[in-house]
Amino acid sequence: MRLIKIEAWEVSVPLLQEWASSPEFGEHGSREDGRLVLALHDEHGGIGWGEGKAISRTLVEQAAARLLKEGLSASRLCQVDLFPADELYWSRPASPSPFAPCPENLRHRLRHPMQNVIEMAWTDLRARRLGIPVADLLGGAWRDWVETDYWMGRVTPEQARRCVRRARELGFLGIKLKTTLEDPNLERLEAIQEESTFPVTVDSNGRFYRLADALPTLRRMDAVGNMAILEDPFPRFHLQEFAELRQHLQARVVVHVDPAESLWSVLRSGAADGLNLDSKEVGLFQWRVLAGTAEQANLSIWHGSGLDLGIATAAQLHLAASAPNCRLPGDQAGPWLREHSLLSEPFEICDGKIRVPIGPGLGIEPDSEALDRYAHWNQVVHA
């Protein structure tokens, strides 16, 4: 396949703030975060779609021009070389050293800011041309439906009740919430329990600080009975405290592996009953490597998300379907928490699970009218 055109959009799709967080806790940081949408066009009329975080427009244009000039047919998809050769400090002449690795052996550690979105779009395009789902390129699907929880930010107990009611109406059967040690944690869990039988994933992003600070509160939260998962209670450099906390709770303690290189430390420390692995930094194929490593350690995982739009959500569902140990409920609720998913057809959800999109590639088609409506920058680069 030869690429003939690359089209890029920078979009901002507002978060439905009334469902994301309560005013008492301020606006959620993802309210109007910019997203990059990419379309790769090949000479046969095929299109592959990708989505990621917005980056410098100059970088987008430069990378697109280089990609069109050099092509992808001979590239390793998990490491597309998009940097000009003279821009990397380790590609410049350096003093010879018997201890230094060959510079070529280091290049896989550096990922261009557009690496992941191009990897997603090229994978979509290749799978479409082959007439197979993306999951088949990743080894095949273990499941057609991916267990997924609804999501809410830091909310009051009453707002938690309303979020649970909305989640149930949409078809979710579990919920993930953000919190800190100072929040009304018991009252929140009790409100959810009074409203539903939902299992709850509690994610503090490290803001329970230290075991000694948090243990009394965490024991009381655990005693409510609906906290199924506790994610990242402490900063991740306190892995020994994660391991110790596991001895005190019924809830499963989960670590969000970030950066990817910390996976070995997490496994070795015994800090986790499960893992949150996301592909936003490592891409699709390296994510499968991480998932396979966790599988060998007999750990279940979920694919993390960032309140993404529809294209990235579809890619995450295909990844989750491709990993046998991806059994924990994910949090791909972004399409239900923003004004629009940018897809022409909504995802199908039933009994707490989202259907992996059916069809070649990612199995989705963007809504061109919505894409143009939410875009505040659009660029087309021709070969």
User: How far does CA 190 lie from the centroid of its chain?
Assistant: 29
Give yes or no: residues 317 and 214 share one domain: yes
What's the rounded Cα separation, in Å, for the pair 196 and 193?
5
Number of separate domains in the chain = 2
Compute, in degrees rounded to 10, the torsion defined by CA atoms 51, 53, 55, 57. 40
The answer to whether 151 touches 175, Cβ cutoff 8 Å, is yes
Give a yes or no: residue 186 inside a domain.
yes
Please give the pLDDT value at position 89: 47
Give a yes or no: residue 11 inside a domain.
yes
Q: Which amino acid is at 28?
A: H
Residue 334 has, within 13 A of its CA and on its CB side, a CA count of 25
What's the rounded Cα separation, in Å, for the pair 206 and 121?
33
Give yes or no: residues 283 and 260 share one domain: yes
Give yes or no: residues 124 and 100 share one domain: yes
Q: Is the dihedral of CA 241, 206, 325, 117 positive or negative?
A: negative
Q: Which residue, chain included where needed, has tokens 């950066």?
A: 259
Give yes or no: residues 172 and 62 share one domain: no
What tens digit of pLDDT does each residue of 59-83 get? 899 889 988 988 776 556 666 767 7
DSSP H stretches of helix in 196-259: 211-224, 239-245
What tens digit of pLDDT does each residue of 318-345 get? 999 999 999 999 999 999 999 999 999 9
Give yes or no: residues 127 and 251 share one domain: no
Give yes or no: residues 124 and 234 share one domain: no
Structural domain that includes position 124: 3-133+368-382
Nearby residues of 367 by Cβ (< 8 Å), 6 or more positions away: 340, 342, 343, 344
Nearby residues of 129 by Cβ (< 8 Å), 6 or more positions away: 1, 42, 44, 46
Instruction: Please give the angle made by the CA atoms of 12, 16 and 22, to the nearest 5 degrees.
Output: 125
Please give the pLDDT value at position 90: 46
Give a yes or no: residue 245 inside a domain.
yes
The answer to whether 333 touches 148, Cβ cutoff 8 Å, is yes
What's the rounded Cα separation, in Å, for the pair 91 and 357?
42
pLDDT by position in tens, the chain (length 383): 789 999 999 999 999 988 888 888 877 666 568 999 999 999 999 999 999 999 999 989 988 998 898 877 655 666 676 776 555 544 555 556 777 666 666 555 667 888 899 999 999 999 999 999 999 999 999 999 999 999 999 999 999 999 999 999 999 999 999 999 999 999 999 999 999 999 999 999 999 999 999 999 999 999 999 999 999 999 999 999 999 999 999 999 999 999 999 999 999 999 999 999 999 989 999 999 999 999 999 999 999 999 999 999 999 999 999 999 999 999 999 999 999 999 999 999 999 999 999 999 999 999 999 999 999 999 999 98
Give yes or no: residues 67 and 169 share one domain: no
Give yes or no: residues 298 and 183 share one domain: yes
Decide: helix, strand or coil at residue 380: strand
pTM over 0.85: yes
Give yes or no: residues 207 and 332 share one domain: yes
Q: Which amino acid is at 383?
A: A
What's the rounded Cα separation, in Å, for the pair 134 and 122?
10
Give yes or no: residues 28 and 152 share one domain: no
Please give the pLDDT value at position 26: 74
- The CATH code of the domain that includes 52 is 3.30.390.10
Per-residue exposure over 246-273, b if at least 16 CB sit within 10 Å of its own CB, e if not? beebebbbbbbbbebebbeebbebebbb
